[in-house]
Amino acid sequence: MAKVTIDGKSIEVPDGTTILNAARMIGGDIVPPAMCYYSKLKTSGGYCRTCLVKVAQGSAKDPRPMPKPVPSCRQTVMDGMVVENITSPEIVEARAGVVEFLLLNHPLDCPICDQAGECHLQDLGYEHGKMKTRYEFKRREFEKIDIGDKIKLHMTRCILCYRCVKVADQLCSCRNHGVMNRGDVAEISTYIENVVDKDMSGNMIDVCPVGALTDKTFRFKSRVWFTKPVDAHRTCDKCCGKVRLWYKGEEVLRVTARKDKYGEVEDWICNSCRFDHKKTSDWVIEGASHIDHHSVISANHYETGKALENLKSDIERHQKQLKENKFALGQGAMNPNNV
Amino acid sequence: MQSLTNRSKVVSNKKMTFMERIYLPAIFGGMMITLGHFFRKKTTVQYPEVKRPFAPVYRGMHVLKRDENGAERCTACGLCAVACPAEAITMVAAERKPGEEKLYREEKYASTYEINMLRCIFCGDCEDACPKESIFLTDRIVPSDSFRDKFVYGKDLLVEPMEENKRIDISKRQTKEVLEFKKHKEFQHNRLK
């Protein structure tokens, strides 16, 4: 066991736990954001640098600080480690810089993108006041392709987090796409279009933190904030069958897996649940999904029962955080003019 | 009885004098006031032949702008609809097909776009929300009608005509300061390619 202190909050965690997971065990807003790390995918993480933290004290035996910010998704804890995340102005600034780097080649076509409203890069940019880019040069350009028969790839939006590659490796029977070339010209590709057809491959859409991989059956059907999420299940022999249906009126526009507060799916779902069962009669409805009230998807949603209780506690938590954490926002990181 | 305010008047029932009883001086006085109004400046105008100038900030009927090449700027992003406090705007998006680049600026466009003018409160929030400089409120008036369904304006009434000389002028809504601000390099992604 190792005792680690993150932003003044201590916790005992098993040896070999990463700083990010230790922070998630504590919970709250000290959890570093992650664009490439995915707790349900093995060997994920270490690419995007969004989860940088400062290690102010390496361990009890060797209390020297680490010389550079470290990626918390890969750095394991040591006994007596002291970590600073949002309490360190240096880290808040470094993360804002990382966000800007992620936006370098991003086309900023959010008005067109189907992911808008549930996009992690959008949230991250907004949280760090990076709603625009300083980059003036030509961005890398790719044609949009049908990477699978039901999946569209917009390579221009990709941030190369490798999550979809790991989904194909770990969930599908075989992988037929990957990252080709290196550096600036690295791209997710298959060489041949329409080949990603293995079962469970639809989970790539859910794990993609940006709008690079999107559901073709939902393409341009509706903006996500005009649809209403409802939890439902069915008995499926290939997956858990627990999904979220996105309704517009009486029509199910798309089916996704349920996501937790870190935007990670709770359980993988198979392609047949995702693409082929879009009738209310296919599903047993459990009730309206709980959406964080800070999300644009919660606009005009009226929650009842347990979801309403969740919503109330959500609002209380956010208000408490606002009172506590004024110091973390005072460093200009939240100021949109400070680009 | 003591009055509560000094505004009360005691009504008297005294007899009128001869001059008051013939009423003519009072009638003549009244006629003079009426006559005097003939020579004053008129406060009304003969609408629709004469139209009053609108204030530069007047917000009337919406227009969906086209860009310099005549392509529709709207990309059906739905931000106007989510910003609308009256929930007056609805739209359906569609994907642009190859060969339609002259018609629609982005790869997605609004196949239907409707504003319910009875719900609209002309606040201009849609204009603020629009990331594509597509929707603007103009100084045109929404004409009256006898049927409620005529007030649901579709793209036929909202999109400006393709012809160069029939475009709707929105320069009043785009002040020099706004245009200068938009020249900033950070908005380049919204400029023409």
Pick from A132, A133, A225: CB nearest B82: A225
Residues sharing a CB contact under 8 Å with residue A189, sequence separation 6 or more, in sequence order: A155, A177, A178, A179, A180
Does residue B116 form part of some domain?
A: yes
- A220 and B93 within 8 Å at the Cβ level: the answer is yes
Total count of residues recorded for chain A = 339
Edge-to-edge strand order for the sheet containing A213-215? Answer: A145-146, A151-153, A213-215
Contact assessment for residue B105 and residue B113, using Cβ atoms and an 8 Å cutoff: no
Among B75, B100, B95, B81, CA closest to A217 = B95
- B82 and A136 within 8 Å at the Cβ level: the answer is no
B151: domain CATH number is: 3.30.70.3270
Does residue B141 form part of some domain?
A: yes
pLDDT over 70, % of chain B: 95
Indicate if the pLDDT at residue B8 is higher than 90.
no
Does residue B124 form part of some domain?
A: yes
Does residue B78 form part of some domain?
A: yes
Does residue B164 form part of some domain?
A: yes
Residue of B nearest to A111 (CA): B77
- B79 and A111 within 8 Å at the Cβ level: the answer is yes
User: If residue B20 lies in a helix (H) or strand (E), which one and from where to where?
Assistant: helix B18-22
Domain that holds residue B67: 62-187
More confident residue, B76 or B3: B76
- Per residue of chain A (339 residues), what is the pLDDT tens digit? 899 999 999 999 999 999 999 999 998 889 999 999 999 999 999 999 999 999 999 999 999 999 999 999 999 999 999 999 999 999 999 999 999 999 888 888 889 999 999 999 999 988 888 766 777 788 888 888 889 889 999 999 999 999 999 999 999 888 888 898 888 888 998 877 777 888 889 999 999 999 999 999 999 999 999 999 999 999 999 899 899 999 998 899 999 999 988 889 999 999 999 999 999 999 999 888 888 777 888 876 766 666 677 777 877 887 887 777 654 444 444 444 433
Does residue B17 form part of some domain?
A: no
Indicate if the pLDDT at residue B137 is higher than 90.
yes
Closest Cα in chain B, distance from residue A153 (Å): 14
Does residue B18 form part of some domain?
A: no
- How far is residue B62's CA from residue B153's CA, in Å, rounded to a whole number? 10
Q: What is the domain count for chain B?
A: 1
Q: Is B181 on the interface with A (CB under 8 A)?
A: no
Confidence band of B187 (pLDDT split at 50, 70, 90): low
- How far is residue A16's CA from residue A25's CA, in Å, rounded to a whole number? 14
Where do the domains of chain A lie, and which CATH numbers do they carry? Answer: 2-89 (3.10.20.740), 223-318 (no CATH)
Closest Cα in chain B, distance from residue A238 (Å): 33
